[in-house]
């Protein structure tokens, strides 16, 4: 009659389980396995815009459904997990409209995409924004197109946008360093 809670795995007394004394390699983590690109069930929120883009006085029920999406890890930055075959599935949801504070139920059919097959496909790389051809010329032409003279552009007389009213409020008292004096001026 031995209490199972009092068993010590590192015990060396005779009569204890010999498996507990084995020197097998123990690890806290699981061994990792390579997972391929597959479809998995994910939760998808049905937006109100998918049901009715002209009305905002309703609720969708259920708000979320399960769809199949591509998931997985491609071994290269230049490729990405993408669907190769998509199936459109029509799901029926309740559109609960509130008319004169009373709910009115209506059945609505929403099309959803299920990914059927996936694979790693090459990602089309877009050039970085600052390396696009002709961008420097566009920047040079912007101030001139606003009617500024080249001399004004060189001297830095181009006025920027005014800061919002909250930031402008104390600008004229910038010369006052003492907070108590500033508070007295602003309260008066």
Question: φ and ψ at 59, to 5 degrees?
Answer: -125, 145
How confident is the model at residue 125, as a pLDDT?
A: 67
Residues 6+ apart with CB under 8 A from 4: none
Read off the pTM.
Answer: 0.48
Residue 109 belongs to a domain: yes
pLDDT recorded at residue 99 = 86
Residues 46-91 have pLDDT tens digits of 998 999 888 888 999 999 999 999 988 888 888 889 999 999 999 9
> Does residue 48 lie within any of the structural domains?
yes
CA angle 40/64/102 to nearest 5° reads 170
Express each pLDDT in 123-177 by its tens digit. Answer: 876 656 655 454 444 444 444 444 445 554 445 555 556 555 555 555 555 566 7
Two structure tokens written together for 73: 């890890």
Whether 168 is in a domain gets the answer: no
In a domain, 38, yes or no: yes
Q: How many CB atoms lie within 10 A of CB 2?
A: 8
Asked whether residue 40 is domain-assigned, the answer is yes
Question: What CA–CA distance (Å, rounded) separates 118 from 78?
Answer: 16
Give 107's strand partners.
94
pLDDT for 88? 96
Is residue 18 assigned to a domain?
A: no
The domain that holds 113 is classified in CATH as: 2.10.90.10
* Position 139 in a domain: no
CA distance 121 to 116: 15
pLDDT at residue number 23:
63
Domain that holds residue 101: 34-122
Establish if 75 belongs to a structural domain: yes
Q: How many domains does the chain have?
A: 1
């Amino acid at each position: 009659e031995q209490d199972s809670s009092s068993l010590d795995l590192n015990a060396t007394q005779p009569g204890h389980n010999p498996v507990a004394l084995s020197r097998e390699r123990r690890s806290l983590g699981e061994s990792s396995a390579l997972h391929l690109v597959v479809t998995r069930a994910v939760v998808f929120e049905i937006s109100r815009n998918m049901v009715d883009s002209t009305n905002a006085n309703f609720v969708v029920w259920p708000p979320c459904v399960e769809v199949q999406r591509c998931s997985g890890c491609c071994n290269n930055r230049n490729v990405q997990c993408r669907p190769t075959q998509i199936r459109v599935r029509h799901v029926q949801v309740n559109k609960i409209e509130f008319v004169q504070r009373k709910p009115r139920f209506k059945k609505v059919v929403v099309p959803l995409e299920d990914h059927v097959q996936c694979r790693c496909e090459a990602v089309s790389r877009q050039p970085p924004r600052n390396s696009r051809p002709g961008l420097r010329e566009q920047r040079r032409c912007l101030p001139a197109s606003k009617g500024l003279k080249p001399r004004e552009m060189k001297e830095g007389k181009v006025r920027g946008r005014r800061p919002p009213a909250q930031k402008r409020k104390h600008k004229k008292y910038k010369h006052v360093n003492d907070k108590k004096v500033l508070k007295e001026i602003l309260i008066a």
